[in-house]
Structure 1
């Protein structure tokens, strides 16, 4: 072998070295990290998973894991289709003790805690009210319910405090309790699915379900950049760059609604009045926990421009942007540092939490 090499011309040796270098560069290029994307439907909305990695097999396994996790959660927690949550509602209506389904018990426990912290503005025990308004359907439609029907539910006053839980045994003191975790389940699902990805070894990813998301890590040397929809649901009003492990959730009156006699009725119902909450167009929050961010965005929307700071403080959320009916952006000091408005910014009011 040595004698053969000694007879190679300088040109041949250069060509051999160049070929070896090209092979090294090609292999390096194959191992360069990139964003792997997947899209599918879950929780009634478009879900997009972006994984930044050089490991294509890991990205594929991550995508399959998220699909499987979210599809299972959607079936188990669906409020108006047969499944564990539907069966739980049937048993709660009897008033008798029963063994709670393990797929829904952790959610109910946490939802009860968050309902209390929100002073009842997040009240998933009012599933009957959501159904009455026609929002327990894939395509909500009017007309709005009769005021007397709304009054009847309000007088029954179903709340999470009516649910007694002792270990795995559960019962309701109020037969009007009907659970609908729509303002919580998606956030909880996103949080749990991302935890599963981290256990698999995924370090940089973003899981976005209809604009609500959790992000970990970053795609290379830059952060994940998130667009916040304008209050009318058209276009992007602002951008937020994530930092490490964060959840960003928005509740808006443009998400689910129907028109009746020229008036729009949206799905974020105020449990105090039984009517769609007024005074707010959208609320965006940043938080470390996706389930709590989901709840907070809904509760602060209902609280409205005057009362949201106190509820935000109770929920432990310090990064909030509320757009009121006049288009004014109310921001906490911590949120002001994170939001970058696109185009002409709205009128901004900085509101410290109590």
Structure 2
């Protein structure tokens, strides 16, 4: 989850309320596999916990549901809450105490923005808003006037405009408006997995709308993760995950609208102010979800000609990019892990991302 991406429903994701958890049970009555599902960040969240008792799984699920409720309230892009208050204070240019729910996201956002050459830029909330993606019904949108896009680009809001001094922060650019949609889901998953570990859960998979982090294994068997086709339906391929890894995909099928016969994606290129072109999806496998989420957005914007340089800069090891012709671009390590379902696609293999 795009400089403005995942402005994915609300959190860019349409961050919405959470439904009561439904524990679906496991395939074994004791210390088996337990599944739960709820709604958060505008998408279904599936939590699978393995090798614990039903009682321990239920307690963990309840705790994680509450975590997501708190994150929903704190990070919502347009509903009243801490993020909205921070954005109003950033306009003033003065110092103010940063809410503890927001400050860590700003710190990570600054670091990831710098690492991505600002192709991941959570400061362009006004641009995302102009495109109509900071609302629940972006499918009814239309492109903003070109002069409005030029105006917002000239203001050049960047994460480096934000100064942090201890727990205080300010913006030297009043045009900065934070939108955490492009990586809040990843950050939230990382927090939730850390909480699971504190609760004694060592084998689990937390999947939010197809973006996930897996720890341990499924009763000794690696987790098998399906990667969606760029169309948004069906399976492109499968990877196995064991230990602790995150798998995140940014795609132009996630939040979009059509206007006069042309489709406009929520993944905005902060350099042009228009939806990024040339890419239909990017999948990143990485150690932590926050980096994987932000990197998938940045590489989507970089496109098929420049993703490799940026992936090396960001320290990535496994990348798959599908361009708008359907060609698969990936590094050799990713090719070795990916079991393609569509085996007739053209593949462009990059040099290795890591040095021997």
- Deviation string 1:168-223 (CA, Å, 9 cap, x unpaired) is 11111100000001011100000110110011001110000000000001111311
Q: Which residue of 2 aligns with 1:308?
A: 307
SS across alignment from 1:305: coil
Q: Which residue of 1 aligns with 2:175?
A: 176
Shift of residue 345, structure 1, vs aligned partner? 3.6
Residue of structure 1 in register with 2:17 after alignment: none
Does the aligned pair in 1 maintain the 2:51–2:219 contact within 8 Å?
Answer: no
Q: Which runs of 5+ in 2 are unaligned?
A: 1-27
Q: Please say if 1:295 is aligned against 2:288.
A: no
Consecutive unaligned residues in structure 1, runs of 5 or more: 1-28
SS of the aligned residue for 1:59 comes to helix
Matched with 2:163 is 164
Aligned position for 2:127: 129
Residue 71 of structure 2 aligns with which residue? 73
Distance 1:133 1:252, change over 3 A: same
**Alpha-carbon contact 1:53-1:59 (below 8 Å) kept:** no
1:118 equivalent in alignment to 2:125: no
The residue that corresponds to 2:277 in the other structure is 278
* Distance (whole Å) between structure 2 residues aligned to residue 48 and residue 243 of structure 1: 18
Kept in 2, the 8 Å contact 1:125–1:179? The answer is yes
Q: CA–CA distance in 1 between the matches of 2:196 and 2:186?
A: 16
Pairwise CA distance, 1:89: 0.2
Contact 1:211-1:249 within 8 A present in 2 as well: yes
Residue 344 of structure 1 corresponds to: 343
Partner of 1:219: 218
How big is the shift at 1:54?
3.8
Computing the radius of gyration over CA atoms, which structure comes out larger, 1 or 2? 1
C-alpha contact 1:93 1:177 (8 A) present in aligned 2: yes
Match in the other structure for 1:232: 231
Q: Distance in 2 between matches of 1:257 and 1:34?
A: 40
In structure 2, distance between residues paired with 1:30 and 1:268:
44
Contact 2:116–2:313 under 8 Å retained in 1? yes
User: Are positions 1:105 and 2:103 aligned together?
Assistant: yes
| Post-superposition offset of 1:315 | 1.1
Higher helix proportion, which one?
1
Equivalent residue, structure 1, for 2:14? none
Structure-2 residue corresponding to 1:204: 203
> After superposition, where does 1:141-152 map in structure 2 within 5 Å?
141-152=140-151
Query: Structure 1 pair 282/191, CA: closer, same or farther in 2 (3 Å)?
Result: same
SS in 2 for 1:134: coil
Partners of 1:316 and 1:85 in 2: CA distance: 29
Q: Contact conserved, 2:204 with 2:215, CA < 8 A, in 1?
A: yes
RCO comparison, higher one (Cα < 8 Å, 6+): 2
TM-score, normalized by length of structure 2?
A: 0.90
In structure 2, the partner of 1:26 is none
**How much has 1:30 moved relative to structure 2?**
4.8
Q: Partners in 1 of 2:59 and 2:293 — Cα distance?
A: 27
SS, match of residue 80 in structure 1: coil
TM-score, normalising length: structure 1: 0.90
**Which residue does 1:269 correspond to in 2?**
268
User: Partners in 2 of 1:212 and 1:279 — Cα distance?
Assistant: 22
What is the alpha-carbon distance in structure 1 between the residues aligned to residue 45 and residue 163 of structure 2?
35
Deviations 1:47-86 (A, max 9, x none): 0000112411111011111111111111101111111111
SS in structure 2 of the partner of residue 197 of structure 1: helix
- Local SS of the residue matching 1:47: strand
Give the superposed CA RMSD: 1.1
C-alpha separation in 2, matches of 1:75 and 1:290: 20
Q: Which moves more between the two structures, 116-125 or 138-147?
A: 138-147
Q: Matched residue pairs, number?
A: 325
